[in-house]
Amino acid sequence: MKRIRKLYNSLADKYDFRHSNPTTLYLRDRELSVLQKYACGKILDIGCGTGYHLRFLDNVIGGDISEEMLKRIRAGWKPVIQCDIENIPFKNGTFDTVISMFSVLNVCNYRRAVREMARVCRVPGRIIISVASVYDKFHLALRERQKLRVTPHAQRKRLQIEKKTVWLHLFTKDELVSLFSKYSFGLEHFESLFFLINPRWGNFQEFSLKEKIKLLLERVLPFKDYGCMYIMVFRR
């Protein structure tokens, strides 16, 4: 995690600008709608970055591995702490809801991270995540034809960010359901995004009318496992 901390410290100055593109803003809008419905009680936002979601949540503590990202939080009085998702510095059962949004689990030791989130979550309690799925690695036409074979190779993606290499672990829905079930969490809510269009993370061009219609259709069509991003709510 030292490498991840160093990376995000180096990205902090440009982070909010880089993620003001239409794709990220659409994802964050969908995330926020889920958080406003399911996040309650005392909340931990682990991997909060520059605090986008903190602004919209009450009774929340933000945590991030990057001290430079935390310095740029503009969420008023909301308390924040520098911490590692693999070693969360709170006692067992501290929070009613633990959230980790926008691919934090893709870049860390996700098994250890899930164990830690489950540990600090109360019973009953919820964990809410958004992650890049295994389908993020493949072209839209391949996903539509459902020919993707999920292999260990398919679940790794090499990403270049500011000339730095980051390896992502890409998840399947079943993998996450199985992982959280080890800690007595069941899937309460599931959304899949970007299966009719490919996300354009670094592109600031607005969605076309055709793309906007497809994004609306994604909310009602049944191909739910094939999106590039998953938003999932687990409860125990």
Cβ 234 vs Cβ 188: under 8 Å: yes
In tens, the pLDDT along 43-99 reads 999 999 999 999 999 999 999 999 998 988 875 678 999 999 999 999 999 999 999
Inform me whether the pLDDT recorded for 157 exceeds 90: no
- When pLDDT is cut at 50, 70 and 90, the band that residue 191 belongs to is very high
For the CA atoms of 190, 134, 184, 35, the dihedral, rounded to the nearest 10 degrees, stands at -40
Inform me whether the pLDDT recorded for 30 exceeds 70: yes
- Alpha carbons 11 and 159: distance in angstroms, whole number: 14
The residues, any chain, with a CB within 8 Å of residue 134's CB and separated by 6 or more, are 148, 150, 154, 155, 170, 171, 172
Mean pLDDT of 20-39: 96
Percent of the chain scoring above 90 in pLDDT: 65
**What pLDDT, on a 0 to 100 scale, did the predictor assign at position 153?**
60
Return mean pLDDT, the chain. Answer: 89
Print the SS3 string covering 93-111. CCEEEEEECCCHHHHCCHH
- Alpha carbons 77 and 197: distance in angstroms, whole number: 38
The domain segmentation of the chain, as residue ranges, is 2-235
- Alpha carbons 137 and 218: distance in angstroms, whole number: 19
Q: Which amino acid is at 123?
A: V
**What pLDDT, on a 0 to 100 scale, did the predictor assign at position 8?**
77
Cβ 41 vs Cβ 236: under 8 Å: no
**What pLDDT, on a 0 to 100 scale, did the predictor assign at position 3?**
75
Mean pLDDT of 167-183: 94
**Chain Cα centroid distance, residue 72:** 20
- Alpha carbons 21 and 160: distance in angstroms, whole number: 17
pTM assigned to the model: 0.92
Mean pLDDT of 100-105: 92
Question: 232 - beta bridge partners?
Answer: 129, 190
CATH code for the domain defined by 2-235? 3.40.50.150
In tens, the pLDDT along 116-130 reads 999 999 999 999 999
